[in-house]
Structure formats: structure tokens, C-alpha cells
Amino acid sequence: MGVSPRAGFARLALVGSVIFLANAGLLVLQLVAGRLLAPFVGSSLETWTAVIGAFLTGIAVGNAVGGRAADRGPAPWKLAAFAALGGVGALWMMALPLLLQATELHRAIPLGVRIPVLATALCFPPAFVLSLLTPLAIKLGLPDVNRTGRVAGLIFSLGTLGCLVGNYAAGFYLIPHLTINALTTAAAGLLFVTALAALLIPKNADAQAENVTESAGEAPVTTRAPLSLTRAYSVVFLASFAGMAIELTASRLIAQTFGVSLFTWTAVIGVMLAGTAVGNWVGGHLADRAARLGGPGAGAWQLAACLILAGVAILVMLLTYFAGTYYDPLKGWGMITQIFIWSGVLFYAPMMFLGTISPQVIRLAIPDAAHAGRVAGRVYAWSTVGAIVGTFATGYLLISTVGMYRTVLAAAVLPIVATGAVCRVWERGAYLYTISIVCGAAVGGYILTVPSNLHIAKETNYYTIRVQGDLHEEGVLVLILDALIHSKVNPLDPSYIHYVHEQAQIEFLRVIADAHPDEQRVLVIGGGGYTFPRYARTFLKNSKIDVVEIDPGVTKVAYDDLALDPALNITTVNMDGRQFVAEKAPRGHYHLMTLDAVNDLTVPYHLLTKEFNDEAKAALAPDGVYLLTVIDLLEDGQLWKAAYHTLKKTFAHVELLVLNDNYDPYERQVYVLYAADAPFDLEKMRTLLRRQKVEQVHTKLPPPGELDRLLGLTAPVVLTDQFAPVDNMMAEVFRRRESSR
């Protein structure tokens, strides 16, 4: 029984809408997952890798299972049921943190084990059930095997576009206005609405698909496909591995020039999703066109050509990056404009060519329409497995061992390797010649990209770290994390303190030393160049310094390249500051706690919430002082005001400390927020420091009445684990900085 073109279009449009909405909801859930987990496991590389891994694992298993369900009988009610189960999975994501908060069961699990266990428990269920939809949608929208490529490509494309919309909607609009639980509830509601939409798919259009599959069941594939499943799996595995390697290194490349902000990661993710969506759509049309005009053989050679072009595009991306950083053709343009242009120029083409692969592989691997769901599901599952392996290999191993440039070069070779599973590429001179160029360029680039030649001290899982001499001060070394000058150190002079907020920290430590001469217990969150701990241990011998630095590479560089003396006995713990304060820090122990983990326009939101402040207060001695470093505009800045109001919910006394002599509320500067149960007495500090023969006191207060005026400019905002739109608060500062360039 045939299906009319109009009925077929209506069916495909509704099926595509369901996939679009479901993937938008899935992306929102992925964005909030890290925030839901942060109170229990922190926000580290391990956390985000576990979240991504759990989601991708759920997607892989869901696609494999969904393919079987599709071939056993595609029906709109199944699509609706899976979408509704996704809504239930979203509600589960909201319920699990509430359960952990009420019972504290997570504290019985060691942190290293806790991260993957909680990530899997939180993320796997919704990812699994929502991924059941994709192969079923392909089967429902497939009128005959001749349109397999176009239908698969369209479904993949609409799913990717849904992720794109979910990414932008959550990042720019939802997170600044909704709590995390409200956002999760909204995602659940969207999925329930999607389930209702699935029921609108015309039932009378089921006839052909049901007739085709009524006897399929678990029957073995009898028709020989142009591409065996084993080879199909290997092709999409390698292509997805390469795509994930590019995705993880992309933000690192952009960060070298523009740092990390809401705009950089949004631009990178948006461009990559857009490129993948277009590639999916183009790949589907190319697959069906090749099969129609040239038969299976033409489709295989076309797939090989797309794989080769993907490798070429990745190499061109790297060459363009080097040329762009050298010549700077967009100099003078706005920074936000530069970010989006560079993201598009660098990353769109590689992701587009990689996006063409899966629809073509599915078209070549499907023997007949009866097995479309199962084959599509398995191919997509193996593609996701490649993404999982690529995530862990790149995030944990490749970048930190061979560096981001060599990781990109390796990614360029992977699609070339995949061509060997498609056809005998060595039999055509043009193909072989291009492959030789790509492989030769990759090997040559691997040899040339020696870290020492690029002035890179170390590449870690968090930063590209460089150490170089200061151009203006002899003997001073500069520590650069990505694009940010983070610290300046004079290895021969521990008294050298470049940043004035560290001078303020030293002044408070001197006051504490007067009150506790026998021992001053200090916790520093954010090691950086270790300038403050180095000074404290050198000149205040009774100070006991604990440093929590999330990146062990930063600590290693401090000792190896910045001449930090191990004999100073500074205790370093490499973990997330939130988890250390909540679970490792002794209660009532520290006289001084400093939070100096801000990086230009990136602020760890989970270290600014009321819940964290409560934990910090519990770790302080009764007369302890907490100092929070912020970088903001006083007049129009939102972050420091929110941090102030949040601290007031925990501490009896909070003050804004002005550090620069030239008070300018319209200029972005470094400030420190003082929080304690005792009031801050500036005159007492000055008197004590004069007695200690300190020549200059850097700690100051704003003019009388100025603090109240500044706080009255905006409505008070309190940051909590449920509501902390820190990136969005910093976005306005980024725009202001861009307009002044």
C-alpha cells in the first residue's frame, strides 16, 4: 500500500518536529546536569567528562535498543511513549539531588568513585530513553530504501538543530531567569508536550511501514548491503572520534586569543552544531543521489571523498589558526565579532564534512527498508561510542600528553584511515595523492609543533600554560594561563608581589599573625603562581598554608618553572575547592581563607553560592576572615553585588575593599570582598601595620556612603546552587570591554 507525497511529507514533518524538540530538551538537561551534580562532586574536568560520558553512553545504548524496537513495528505511539519517558527521566534528574541532599548518601562514596557513579545515575536514564527516538523516527519517516540517506540525514540534522536551539536558549535566556529545578521541570514539560505531538502523526500512514516490517522481527539480514556492518561501524567510530577531538580542542584554540567566556564557548558550540546539522542534511542527499545515479560503488567512492575532505578541512583549520594568530587580519574589529568569525572560519568546514559521514554510511549499510531501524540505530550507537572514546582519550590523555596541536593533527588522520574500510582508495590516483598530502602534512606538523618552540611550559587538562620573561621588569617571570596573565613572580625575591589584591591578603595575614602569633592557619583556593603562599611562608614563619589548586599542572609549573621552594612546606591539594572545603577542611580551623580562583571572565559559579559560603564559614575559626577576589565594574557590574548580597546571608559583616589609589567605579578592576563575623576595622589595621613598619597599606574602603549607593543601583540577587547565572553576569562586562577596545 503506497503513501501519497503529501501524507509522506506530513508524517516526516511531524516526526522531524518530535526529534527537534526531544533533542532540544536533551541538550538542556545536559547543560544543567553539571550544576545539579556540583554540590556533591564539585565542578572539575572529571565531573564534566563523567557527565558527557554518561550521556553519550545512554545515547549509544538507546540507539542500539531503539533500532530493534523500530524494526519490530514502528508506530507513533512508541515515539510518544519514549518522549514521555524522557520527561520522567528529566524529573528523575531533579529528584536525585534532592534525595542526596536529604540523606547525604554520597558522602559514604570516595570522591573518585562518586563522580562516575552519580553522573551515571543522574544522566544515563534520560539519555537512554530519549535516544530510543532516533532510529524509530528514521523508520517512521522512511517511505522506501531509496530515500534512506535523505531521511536519516534530515532526522540527524533536525536533532542537531534542536541541540543548537537548546544550547542558546539555556545559555542566554533560561539560566539567567530560572532556577535549575525550574529549568529541569521546563525541559520535562517540553518532553511531555513532544509526546503529545508524536500522537498527531497520521496513523493511516503506518500501513506501508508496518507491511514492510510485519515479518521482520529478529529475522537475519538476507539482502547484501554495499557496506558491511563491521566496516560501517569502524567508519563512524573513527569519524566521531575525530569530531569529538576537534570539539574538545576547539575551545582551547580560541582561548589562546580570547580567553574563556560565555561568548567563546557559545560561539564554538553553536558553529560546530550548525556545521554538523548542515553536514547531516547534505550527506543524506549525497547518499541517495549517488545510489540513484551511480549505484552502490559510486556511493562508496563518494563517502571516501567526504572522509578525505574532512581530513583536509581539519588540516586547513590548523593552518588557518596559525596564520590568523600571526597576521591578525581582524585586528580592530569588535572582540565578540572576532570570536564568532574565527569560530566559523575554523570549525564549520571540518564539522560539516564529518557530519556528512553517518547518513552516507547508513545508506550504504541498509540492505532493505525492513532493517532500516536496526541498522540506523546500531550505526548511530557506534558513532556515539566513537564520541565517548574520543571524549575520554582527548580530555584525559591526548591534550595533556601530546598537546592540542598534535591532537588536531591526529584527528586529521583518522578520517583518512577510515577510507580503507570503505573502498580501495589506493586504486585511484587523485585519492591516493590527496591522502599522501594529508598524512605527510600531519607527520611534518607533528615534528614541527615542539612545545618548547611555542614557549609552552605545559599543556594540561585545563589550560595551556606558558612561562616567559616580563618585558618591563628584569628577572620577573610571567605565568600565562591560556590568554590570561595570571601571575608575575620574581624567583629570587619572595617579597615581590605584583597584584595589589595579594598585597591586601598579606596585610590581613599580618593582622592575624598579631592576634595568633604562634600559628596562622591559612587556606588558599586557587594556587596560580603561588606568590602569596611563597611570601607568607618566607616572611611569616608560623603561617601554615594549605593551597587547593584544581590543576596539578599549575602546581608543577610553579615548582619547576617558577622556582617555588619545596622547603617552604606549602601543602597543596589538587582537587575542586568546593569539595575540599565541604569534605576535607577541618571545621573551625582556618584563621584566613582566600578565594582567588577567578580567571579574567571565567568565575567558578559553584564557589560563589550561599551553600559554599556556609561551608566556608564552618571551616573558619570563630574570628576567621574570608576574602573573595572579584574582577568587575563597581557602577554597572552585577557579579560583585550578587556576591556581596550572598555573603551577607552567611556572615554578619561584609565589606567591599577598594585596592587601587585611583578610585574609578566605571573601570573594571580587581576588588576584594571581606566577610567575617567580626566587623572590619581599617584604622586598627593601619595602626598595627605601621607598628610592623609596613610602608604602605593597600587595603582601603570606598568613600562614605558609596557602597550603599552602588548596591542600591540594582535589585539584590542571592546566588545559590539553584540559581547562579555567573557567566551571564560577566557577559555585560565582556561587552563593555569590547566596546572600549
Q: What is the domain-level CATH number for residue 681? A: 3.40.50.150
Rounded to an integer, the average pLDDT of 260-265 is 77
Amino acid occupying residue 449: T
Rounded to an integer, the average pLDDT of 242-251 is 91
* pLDDT at residue 217, rounded to an integer: 41
Residue % of the chain over a pLDDT of 70: 91
Predicted confidence (pLDDT) per residue in 136-195, tens digit:
888 888 766 567 778 888 898 999 999 999 988 988 889 889 999 999 999 999 999 999
Stretch among 58-62, 103-107, 451-455, 456-460 having the lowest mean pLDDT: 451-455
Cβ density class 225-236: b for 16+ within 10 Å, e for less: bbbebebbbbbb
Q: Residue 593's domain spans which residues?
A: 493-739
* pLDDT at residue 456, rounded to an integer: 59
Judge whether residue 375 has pLDDT over 70: yes
243 and 124 inside one domain: no
- Decide if 458 is inside a domain: no
Rounded to an integer, the average pLDDT of 357-364 is 91
Give the contacts of 63 (CB within 8 A, at least 6 positions apart): 131, 132, 134, 135, 376, 377, 378, 380, 381, 384
For 310, the 3-state DSSP assignment is helix
243 and 206 inside one domain: no
Which has the higher per-residue pLDDT, 456 or 248? 248
* pLDDT at residue 736, rounded to an integer: 66
* pLDDT at residue 560, rounded to an integer: 92
* pLDDT at residue 257, rounded to an integer: 81
665 and 694 inside one domain: yes
- Decide if 22 is inside a domain: yes
Judge whether residue 448 has pLDDT over 60: yes
Stretch among 200-209, 340-349, 465-474, 682-691 having the lowest mean pLDDT: 200-209
186 and 244 inside one domain: no
- Decide if 452 is inside a domain: no
For CA atoms 711, 717, 720, 726, give the dihedral sign: negative
Rounded to an integer, the average pLDDT of 694-715 is 91
Judge whether residue 126 has pLDDT over 70: yes
CA 30, distance to chain mean position in Å, is 10
Q: Are 677 and 622 in contact (CB under 8 A)?
A: yes
* pLDDT at residue 593, rounded to an integer: 98
* pLDDT at residue 211, rounded to an integer: 41
Predicted confidence (pLDDT) per residue in 649-658, tens digit:
999 999 999 9
Judge whether residue 455 has pLDDT over 60: no
- Numbers of helices and strands, H then E, in the chain: 25, 11
E strands, 162-300, where? Answer: none
- Decide if 467 is inside a domain: no
Q: Are 483 and 257 in contact (CB under 8 A)?
A: yes
Domain finish residue from 154, 182, 217: 217
- Decide if 387 is inside a domain: no
Judge whether residue 214 has pLDDT over 90: no
Categorize the per-residue pLDDT at 450 as very low, low, confident or very high, splitting at 50, 70 and 90: low
345 and 408 inside one domain: yes
Predicted confidence (pLDDT) per residue in 556-607, tens digit:
999 999 999 999 999 999 999 999 999 999 999 999 999 988 766 678 899 9
Of 121, 153, 174, 165, nearest to 22 by C-alpha is 165
Which has the higher per-residue pLDDT, 716 or 326? 716
Nine-digit cell string for 613: 559560603
**CA end-to-end span of the chain:** 66
Torsion of CA 522, 525, 527, 528, to 10 degrees: -130
Which has the higher per-residue pLDDT, 283 or 482? 283
* pLDDT at residue 223, rounded to an integer: 55
Q: Three-state SS across 475-496?
A: CCEEEEECCEEEEEECCCCCCC
172 and 247 inside one domain: no
Domain count for the chain: 3
656 and 587 inside one domain: yes
> What span, in angstroms and rounded, lies between the C-alpha atoms of 652 and 650?
7
Q: How many CB atoms lie within 10 A of CB 433?
A: 9
Whole-prediction pTM: 0.88
148 and 274 inside one domain: no
Domain finish residue from 217, 236, 258: 217
Name the β-bridge partners of 554.
Answer: none
246 and 197 inside one domain: no
* pLDDT at residue 291, rounded to an integer: 76
Stretch among 77-81, 296-300, 379-383 having the lowest mean pLDDT: 296-300
For 670, the 3-state DSSP assignment is strand
- Decide if 451 is inside a domain: no
Judge whether residue 213 has pLDDT over 70: no
141 and 187 inside one domain: yes
Mean pLDDT of the chain: 88
Domain finish residue from 217, 239, 254: 217
Categorize the per-residue pLDDT at 203 as very low, low, confident or very high, splitting at 50, 70 and 90: low
312 and 177 inside one domain: no
Q: Are 713 and 635 in contact (CB under 8 A)?
A: yes
> What span, in angstroms and rounded, lies between the C-alpha atoms of 683 and 692?
14
* pLDDT at residue 557, rounded to an integer: 93
- Decide if 627 is inside a domain: yes
Q: What is the domain-level CATH number for residue 78? A: 1.20.1250.20
* pLDDT at residue 647, rounded to an integer: 98
- Decide if 96 is inside a domain: yes
Rounded to an integer, the average pLDDT of 632-636 is 88
239 and 305 inside one domain: yes
